[in-house]
Amino acid sequence: MAERALEGIRIVECGHLVSAAYAAKLMADMGAEVIKIEEPAGGDQARRRGPYPGHVPHPEKSGLFLYLNTNKYGVTLDLRQAAGQSLFHRLIKDADVLIHNYHPTEMAGLGLDYTTLEKINSRLVMTSIAPFGLSGPHKDYQATDLTLWNAGGVAYLNGGGPGTDDMPPLKTFGQQAGYQAGINAGIATLGALFARLASNEGQHVEISAQECLLSILELTFEFFPYMGLTTSRLGQKPIQPLDFLECRDGWIFLCCVEEHQWRNFVELMGSPEWAGEEIFADRLNRGANWDALQPLLQDWIKDQSVDDLYHKAQSRRVPIAPVSTMGDLFNNAHLKARGFFATIDHPATGPLQYPGALYKFSESPWDLRRPAPLLGQHNEEIYGGRLGISPSALAELQASQAI
């Protein structure tokens, strides 16, 4: 049995929705032990977002929660109660990492105070994920994934376009700001653990979700410092084809950014006469005249099948991609051959397919140890078994809703 990369690292995680849960999941998947703390009344808000089997809400069957919390232990704990804080401190004493995404305005009330926790465990790395960071005029601003995607500058670059400039900047599906803050938190947390190898001390790590998004704006951000220009989603793209086109059974995304790619695609289309027009002679011309070129391309492509066109064009070294649906992804031969989807059985939902390993390690691969926890599933194992709390004391804690 191959050893796990993060074997021996103990993590306590708390918060809601995506960013902290994803950071902890990344580490759990590579072998860290993660104890996820949820509030006794209702637990993680991710339990209330779904998707659900049959579209019927159920706190133990939310797809978002199940994906984000695979490979973790789950306990309930009310951090606002003294008895809860006491248990929390006992968990922290033995932990290497605490990761959370509670709002900066809530941290003090939940005992998420590094100065206090450092005294209990000087080797603790505490990672706080906040929408706008822990300092600055906007640090207390409230946020959702939508407002962060806009505050970080990504939304302004998307949507609209010729004929639809009056439509708003467009959000991407799901919880992308949460995922980006989460992966950054994973990197920074491991960084702090490396720092600890030399110093033997923990520290407080701060992640600003807004800044994480600011860091992924491709070449667009620098147009202002370098050229005084504002970049937005409006206007034509300089190079074409680099766009969506509709087939008879779905959509494809065609990328012909190099001249030889365009020539190969023209050949695939049977070298129609219009392709030889001067106004389509090179990629910049094709960009400038896309409104003339697009309908001609679309007219040929509408009769093609996605799968057929994809493989034919790729065999001619044209970078074309299917606009995959969820069904396409599950059925895809390449992803199946790579074993990308993992089937995970769960007591509430039964077996379901999930994205599995995000990277293949030759020595210390991803592996699956347990499905996402039911609410409070491991209370007895962790509080009783590990912390040695007696059954009667546990019953008391339960009665007072401290756990």
Partner 1 sequence: MARLPLEGIRIADFTWVWAGPFCTLQLAHLGAEVIRIETATRPCITRLLPPWPDSKPGVNRSGYFNQYNQGKRSLTLNLKQPEALTIAKQLVAKSDIVTENFAGGVMDRLGLGYETLKQLRSDIIMISLSGYGVTGPEKEYISYGPAQVPMSGMSSLTGYKGWRPMHVGISYGDPNGGLHGAFAVLCALMYRARTGKGQYIDLSQWETSTAMVAEGLLDHGMNGTQPERDGNRDAHMAPHGVFRCAGHDQWVSLAARNDDEWQQLCVLIGRPELAIDPRFATLVARKQNEDELEAILSAWTSTRSPQAVTEQLQAARIPAAPSMSNKDLATDPHLNSRSIFVHHEHPEVGVKQHVGIPWQMSKTSLAVRHPAPTLGQDTDYVLHEILGYSATDISALRERQVLS
Structure tokens at 339: 């074993």
Helix/strand/coil for 25: helix
Binding-residue pattern over the window 290 to 329 for partner 1, x denoting contact by CB under 8 A: ------------------------x--xxxxxxxxxxxxx
For partner 1 (CB under 8 A), the number of binding residues is 148
Of the candidate residues 14, 26, 87, 110, the single one contacting partner 1 (CB under 8 A): 26
Q: Is 205 in the site for partner 1 (CB under 8 A)?
A: yes
Compute the distance between CA of residue 351 and CA of residue 354 in angstroms, rounded to an integer.
10
Burial of 174 (0-12, 13-18, 19+ CB in 10 A): exposed
Rounded distance, CA 3 to CA 35, Å? 20
Residue window 109-148: x/- pattern of binding to partner 1, with contact defined by CB under 8 A: -----x-----------------xx-xxxxx-xxxx-xxx
DSSP string, 185-253: HHHHHHHHHHHHHHH---EEEEEEHHHHHHTT-TTTTTHHHHH-----S-S--SSSSEEEEEETTEEEE
Residues 35-54 close enough to bind partner 1 by CB under 8 A: 48-54
Least gap, CB of 255 to partner 1 (angstroms): 5
Binders in 231-250 for partner 1, by CB under 8 A: 231-234, 242, 244, 246
Nearest residue to 125 via CA among 199, 49, 46:
199
Q: Which is nearer to partner 1, 231 or 379 (CB)?
A: 231
Q: Applying CB under 8 A, does 30 fall inside the site for partner 1?
A: yes
Distance (Å, whole) CA 41 – CA 60: 14
What character string, x for contact with partner 1 (CB under 8 A) and - otherwise, covers 347-376?
--x--xxxx-xxxxxxxx------------
Nearer to partner 1, 138 or 276 (CB): 138
Residues in 160-189 that interact with partner 1 by CB under 8 A:
164-165, 167-176, 179-180, 183-188
Question: Shortest approach of partner 1 to residue 335 CB, angstroms?
Answer: 7
Q: Does 281 bind partner 1 (CB under 8 A)?
A: no
> Residue 326 corresponds to which tokens in the numbers above?
């969820």
C-alpha to C-alpha distances, 80 to 84, 112, 377, nearest whole angstrom: 7, 10, 21
Residue 348 contacts by C-beta under 8 Å, 6 or more apart in sequence?
A: 58, 60, 61, 374
Q: Considering the complex, state which of residue 244 and residue 347 has its C-beta at the smaller distance from partner 1.
A: 244
CB of 14 to partner 1, least distance (A): 19
Whether 225 and 204 have beta carbons less than 8 Å apart is answered as: no
Choosing from 83, 120, 255, 393, the residue that interacts with partner 1 (CB under 8 A) is: 255
Q: Minimum distance between the CB of residue 185 and partner 1, rounded to whole angstroms?
A: 8
